[in-house]
Amino acid sequence: YNIVMRSWARKGCLQRINRLFSMLESIGLQPSLDSYAAALECMGRNQSSAKAIQGCLQKLKNDGFHVDELFQKCLFEEDEKEKVLRAIRIVQPNYQLPPPPTPQTCKSSLLQDFYSREKMVSYPKLDFSVQELKERFQQQLEMEVDNTITIESVESAKPLTPQAIKARKLLDTLRSQWHGSILQALQKSKHSMSKLKMVSGYNILYPYLCLLPDEEYVGIMLQILNSLSPQGESLAVLARDLGSKVYNRYITQRKLRSRQLEKVQEVYEGYIHLLAKDSQPDEYLPREYWEKLVMEAGFGPSLNLKDCSWPYMLLMRLGMHMLELLVKAVKVPRNILNPRLEPKLIPVLYHIYSFHSSWQVGLIKPHPIFSQIVSDAAETLLTFNSSAIPMLCPPVPWTSPHFGAFILNDTKLMRFVDGVIQHQLLLEQCPPVNLHPVLDALNQLGNCAWKINQPVLDIIISIFNDKGNEKLDIPPPISEAPRPSAASSNSSAWNKSQKHELLLCKKKAAEMHSLRMDALYKLSIANYVRDKVFWFPHNMDFRGRTYPCPPYFNHLGNDVTRAILLFAEGRPLGPKGLDWLKIHLINLTGLKKKNALQERLEYANEIMEEILDSADHPLTGRKWWMNTDEPWQALACCMEIAKASRSPDPAAYISHFPVHQDGSCNGLQHYAALGRDLIGATSVNLMPCSVPQDVYSAVAQQVEEFRKKDAERGVKIAQVLQGFISRKVVKQTVMTVVYGVTRYGGRLQMEKRLKEIDEFPEEYLWEASHYLVKQVFNGIKEMFSATRDIQNWLTESAKLIAQSGQTVEWVTPLGLPIVQPYYRSRSTVVSIWKPDTVKQKNAFPPNFIHSLDSTHMMLTALHCLRQGLTFVSVHDCYWTHALTVDVMNQICRQQFVALHSEKILQDLSEFMLEKYCSPGRETRALWQKKLMEQLSNVPKTGEFNLKKVMDSTYFFS
């Protein structure tokens, strides 16, 4: 009713608003603050009598509100705020707006230095003038106003065949016809809805089909049609996509209509003075500076929109309806490719059902005739949502859970499972000051400017357009997919093995198409921004792990994607930079993981000839780079080393190359630090050592000792496994034990590794994998005793919480509230969400460790900012310039020690006792007593001295 009131207020319909007030009172509902704002806005527009306004203000007071709250808590659009103030001043001429709240400073003990005003430094400057950043803002704005962007695909370089020209003309004709038939079907369905007197699931969509011009809905539907895979797409995914496209378009229009964009533009033009090289405001963080500018802007619309999110089920229903229109309206003559057939119209799309495990999944599949025309046309234009492209200007800083990242595109601070809103509610209830560290860390990551490594991109595109290369992770086109061997054309006569072969060929073709399209999108976007500087705005998942918002092309991508990214800012290598580039290259090869850093550097110097040959003749030389773990990043690094080593003064060489430092079995590092576990800490490189410790080899050795003893006692499977237990066999299970892998999951991992060994007897696979997973768990238990105790404590606590019908919640050491989003939904008239006990229990230990991991990364990011470093992360892999690797390493260790010096498990115990065990109650349920006992029994810690981490050389592997 608030939305209705606000729309009436804008039209000056005071009588209607008064009737709605009376109606609310008659059914015992108290009008909200927003309702009073609407009434006063209307009175301000109509310049109502002082008596009427006084009456409204008196009611507001009687309902427990204060007039100041209208301006402190309500969100306004257009000139609503001015009109409310005008009404109030009719009866209180001297009324002044309440002063803006005093900015609060985060009190976290981990960030006292960071937020200390005495230690503030100027925000690092970008290499752009104010004018250049204004121009980039305009480019980004134009792209977002259009909502979509169409770019050339990297396949456009191929010459056009006569067949392709003919197919493109045919597609143009068909699309023109389809446009008309979809428009007709849409208008017909809207007309039917408008005639229905009763509200139903069908006509409830009617208002949502009237928000945009009909042409826009048709354009959205055609866009989906153009990007459909020949193998079909999930009905649910397509429906969600269509609904979201309408929502995004509506939000953009609403922001334009409400004058919100004008205000964003005004504030952003001030904000870029913080970043531009030719401007020098005082010391502020991006969030602080943006908030200051918003306060100074005074009137105009609020930058957070009111009531704008659409429920998940509404998006799905809207999308499903649009899909139905597409299926009914879009048809093609059956004889369009074969004139001998009858000229009957057949649907281009049809519903099919497939089974995914035991679930029946609805798919929308294009007719093979349509897929053939699309394939023949070999179109080279790709259309994306504007939010899929990196930003062409620095992102809008996050200032709240509702505002940040893109200029117009609606972006959530926290990604979550469709239909689950608990995270958003937690964030809204959280005091804003508690979120400052997280928002500031996301802003720091998003403000890193990037550019393209053009020589590497060109080589990758040339291979992509020349049938790809699976060994180098460049997917071949679907034309290279295996075909079933010649068989009878009558499929009913096929034998079982022929049908199985056909099924495998179809599966492989579907996989190849998916991988090829993914690579096409990434490379085409990279090619589009090849001459530009760009930015990746960031948000996070429910555990606080950060991700770039553009989904296809970003630095979290695979080896190919990472190889074509460079920092836009260049820094000299300095005295040790070239050495770090060489060590980084050897790390990428995977060849010297057990060797000391000095040995890796010496090895790089020994193979300089191979490095230079790879750089100079990547596709025609000896191709050393191709046989490394990360070939494309290795090639990019070879090229950088070649340029630096050939420059007159390598120390002065300006490098844009990101050097990575990768966590050394990161999850186990956190567990070892939590439990102060000396043996565990040593095996994951938290202690100073002359060479890196390899936890996987240590566990393999432990398992081998167990096996030997069993073999001597005559255990058959232990005898069969002689000579087969290696680092490679146990690595995946050791790595994932920390992240909650079960014995069942671990057994499957072991079986997969043993299958890769040709000599291993197949008949023993099940028994051997079962035996090995048991021994790996025993080995870890023995080596990491404190780790298993903590894991068991977390699991048991989560089990008791979930069994009581509640979800597991906690707060990270940086103040981010977290709730696990695992529910069992029962489809009734009203959807009932109950916690999924098994998932809540099993996922808590890994999620808790992930939340600590993200906390450590954010602390590192913020302290790197204070020291002027370029810093980005891929979870536990940290990137910076070669010049600043040593400084980043130091900061990273300091923050790890600072984080684990907090009473993390004790604080968790206290938070959960307060939340779940109601300390004030005299009578407690049995489960509460059990939970109290469990939570109070915090695992004991060992003797490991955390300060030793500062001297650890191999904290990063």
Q: Are 296 and 271 a contacting pair, CB within 8 Å?
A: no
Residues 446, 448: Cα–Cα separation, whole Å: 6
Residues 918, 912: Cα–Cα separation, whole Å: 10
Work out whether the CA dihedral 437, 442, 444, 445 comes out positive or negative: positive
Rounded (5°) CA angle 625-627-633? 45
DSSP letter for each residue of 179-211? HHHHHHHHHHHHHHHHH--S--TTGGGGGGGSS
- H-assigned helices in 27-66: 33-46, 50-62
- Nearest Cα to 379, choosing from 95, 172, 522, 552? 172
Q: Out of 127, 418, 629, 662, pick the active-site residue.
A: 662
- Nearest Cα to 438, choosing from 285, 567, 308? 285
Q: Are 487 and 514 a contacting pair, CB within 8 Å?
A: no
Q: Are 172 and 377 a contacting pair, CB within 8 Å?
A: no
Tell the residue number behind the tokens 């990360």, with chain if given. Answer: 630
689 Rama class: left (phi>0) / alpha (psi -120 to 50) / beta: beta
| Burial status of residue 687 (CB atoms within 10 A of its CB: 0-12, 13-18, 19 or more) | buried
| Residue 660 β-bridge partners | 879
CA distance to 334, 368, 889, per residue, from 490 (Å): 22, 19, 66
* Residue 731 among the catalytic residues: yes
Q: Out of 263, 522, 582, 731, pick the active-site residue.
A: 731
Q: Which two tokens stand for residue 857?
A: 């990364």
CA distance to 724, 727, 908, per residue, from 700 (Å): 10, 6, 34
Over the Cα atoms of the chain, what is R_g? 31
Residues 685, 680: Cα–Cα separation, whole Å: 9
| Residue 333 β-bridge partners | 345
| Residue 351 β-bridge partners | 364
Amino acid at 182: I
CA distance to 273, 402, 425, 445, per residue, from 405 (Å): 18, 10, 20, 11
Q: Which two tokens stand for residue 165?
A: 């020209």
Tell the residue number behind the tokens 């993981």, with chain if given. Answer: 593
Collect all residues with Cβ–Cβ distance below 8 Å to 410 and sequence separation of at least 6: 247, 248, 251, 308
Q: 852-880 burial, b if ≥16 CB within 10 A, otherwise e?
A: bbbbbbbbbbbbbbbeebbbbbbbbbbbb
- Number of C-beta neighbours around residue 119 at 10 A: 11
Residues 239, 242: Cα–Cα separation, whole Å: 5
Sheet containing 534-535: give its strands across. Answer: 534-535, 449-452, 565-567
Q: Are 364 and 228 a contacting pair, CB within 8 Å?
A: yes
CA distance to 447, 472, 557, 565, 639, per residue, from 633 (Å): 23, 11, 12, 10, 10
Q: Are 291 and 399 a contacting pair, CB within 8 Å?
A: yes
Q: Are 231 and 513 a contacting pair, CB within 8 Å?
A: yes
Give, as one character, the DSSP assignment of residue 488: -
- Nearest Cα to 124, choosing from 454, 507, 443? 443
Helix (H, G, I), strand (E, B) or coil at 889: helix
Active site positions, annotated: 662, 731, 876
